């Protein structure tokens, strides 16, 4: 019997995919998948310089600014008077606030952009999402539907396709959804465009889809991307009516050769 395994076992790769977006922006909030966004946002924060401090400020609150006594009057320190560590902490809270705001859609941003403390902002977003979050069953149905409809997007590279698939599997893993490894691998291979068909067949012959993972399948296929692209270009040219006419337009010598072959008894018997 095939073993049932949790999705997204390769957390390092999943984190790489989440954190290395094309423009390295924070993950954008999907209101139907708040828990997933929250988890990915934490990973994104941790990957930043002083990431652990940033996350600590988001979860437990900002720097309590120290005070000094001056002329028998106690006042809050100015930024220039802070220690090096205190300055980093103050800067990290501002960075955390900016990261969260950049990951919000415009309608949510407009409701919370007055918050200047990262913890307050984080908690306000959570409060807003609690009223609109889907039930666990609804979330699972949405993800299963996305998995079922997942396919290659025209123009994207194999690596971009792989990153999108990794994100989907990681989202499913966050909700503790489990699928057979064979099913995940088959979906990854069968959703590739036609130019990959030969290489998909080859990889099915050399890899056991019950025990391997799609990270290994991607690594194997990546070696053949140049050839797959060549197949795609040839197919696109053959589907272009003008190119087809140009390729098949016969000169008199070509016609004579063709006519001679056609009149050959051996050709007619084929």
Domain closes at, from 96, 130, 164: 130
Average pLDDT of the chain is: 80
**Residue 193: is its pLDDT beyond 70?**
yes
Q: Please indicate, yes or no, whether residues 75 and 28 belong to a single structural domain of this protein.
A: yes
Residue 6, strand partner residues: 178
Q: Please indicate, yes or no, whether residues 44 and 116 belong to a single structural domain of this protein.
A: yes
**Residue 252: is its pLDDT beyond 50?**
no
Task: Tell me what the mean pLDDT of segment 38-45 comes to.
Answer: 90
Q: Please indicate, yes or no, whether residues 14 and 116 belong to a single structural domain of this protein.
A: yes
Q: Please indicate, yes or no, whether residues 83 and 140 belong to a single structural domain of this protein.
A: no
Q: Please indicate, yes or no, whether residues 54 and 147 belong to a single structural domain of this protein.
A: no
Q: Where residue 142 falls among pLDDT bands split at 50, 70, 90?
A: confident
Specify which of 126-140, 159-173, 243-257 reaches the highest per-range mean pLDDT.
159-173
Specify which of 22-31, 125-134, 163-172, 241-250 reaches the highest per-range mean pLDDT.
163-172
Q: Please indicate, yes or no, whether residues 45 and 31 belong to a single structural domain of this protein.
A: yes
- For residue 246, give its domain range: 240-269
**Which of residues 14 and 36 earns the better pLDDT score?**
36
Task: Give the global pTM.
Answer: 0.49
Q: What is the CA radius of gyration of the chain?
A: 28
**Residue 251: is its pLDDT beyond 80?**
no
Task: Tell me what the mean pLDDT of segment 11-40 comes to.
Answer: 67
Q: Which candidate, 37, 15, 50, 10, places its Cα nearest to that of 103?
A: 37
The predicted structure's pLDDT at residue 186:
96
The predicted structure's pLDDT at residue 171:
82
- Give the number of C-alpha atoms closer than 13 A to the C-alpha of residue 15, restricted to the C-beta side: 12
Q: How many domains does the chain have?
A: 3
* Conformational region of residue 162, where left means phi above 0, alpha means psi within -120 to 50, and beta covers everything else: alpha
Q: Where residue 134 falls among pLDDT bands split at 50, 70, 90?
A: low
Report the percent of the chain where pLDDT is more than 70: 78
Task: Tell me what the mean pLDDT of segment 252-263 comes to.
Answer: 43
- Straight-line distance from the first to the last Cα atom of the chain, in angstroms, rounded to the nearest whole number: 49
The predicted structure's pLDDT at residue 148:
94
226 contacts: CB under 8 Å, gap ≥ 6: none
* Residue 113: CB atoms within 10 Å: 13
Q: What is the DSSP string of 18-70?
A: HH--TT-PPPPP-GGGHHHHHHHHHHHHHTSTTHHHHHHHHHH------EEEE
**Residue 223: is its pLDDT beyond 60?**
yes
**Residue 192: is its pLDDT beyond 90?**
yes
**Residue 234: is its pLDDT beyond 50?**
yes
**Which of residues 270 and 191 earns the better pLDDT score?**
191
Q: Please indicate, yes or no, whether residues 197 and 143 belong to a single structural domain of this protein.
A: yes
Q: Please indicate, yes or no, whether residues 141 and 162 belong to a single structural domain of this protein.
A: yes
Q: What is the C-alpha separation between 265 and 270, in angstroms, rounded?
A: 9
The predicted structure's pLDDT at residue 14:
42
> What tokens were used for 93?
């809270």
Domain closes at, from 130, 150, 184: 130
Task: Tell me what the mean pLDDT of segment 244-269 comes to.
Answer: 43
């Amino acid at each position: 019997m095939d073993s049932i395994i949790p999705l997204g076992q390769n957390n390092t790769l999943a984190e790489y995919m989440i954190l290395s977006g094309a423009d390295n922006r924070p993950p954008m909030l999907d209101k139907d998948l708040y828990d997933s966004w929250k988890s990915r946002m934490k990973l994104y924060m941790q990957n930043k310089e002083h990431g652990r401090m940033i996350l600590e400020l988001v979860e437990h609150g900002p720097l309590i600014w120290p005070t000094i006594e001056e002329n028998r009057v106690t006042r809050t320190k100015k930024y220039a008077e802070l220690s090096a560590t205190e300055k980093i902490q103050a800067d990290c809270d501002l960075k955390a606030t900016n990261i969260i705001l950049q990951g919000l859609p415009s309608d949510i941003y407009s409701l919370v952009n007055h918050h200047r403390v990262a913890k307050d902002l984080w908690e306000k977003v959570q409060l807003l999402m609690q009223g609109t979050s889907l039930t666990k069953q609804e979330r699972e149905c949405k993800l299963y539907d996305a998995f079922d409809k997942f396919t290659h997007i025209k123009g994207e590279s194999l690596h971009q396709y792989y990153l999108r698939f990794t994100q989907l599997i990681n989202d499913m893993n966050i909700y503790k959804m489990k699928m057979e490894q064979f099913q995940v691998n088959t979906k990854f291979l069968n959703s590739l465009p036609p130019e990959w068909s030969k290489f998909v067949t080859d990889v099915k012959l050399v890899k056991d889809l019950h025990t391997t993972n799609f990270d290994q399948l991607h690594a194997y296929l990546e070696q053949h991307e140049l050839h797959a692209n060549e197949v795609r270009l040839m197919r696109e040219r053959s589907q272009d009516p003008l190119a087809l006419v140009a390729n098949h337009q016969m000169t008199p010598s070509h016609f004579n050769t063709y006519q001679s072959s056609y009149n050959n008894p051996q050709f007619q018997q084929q």
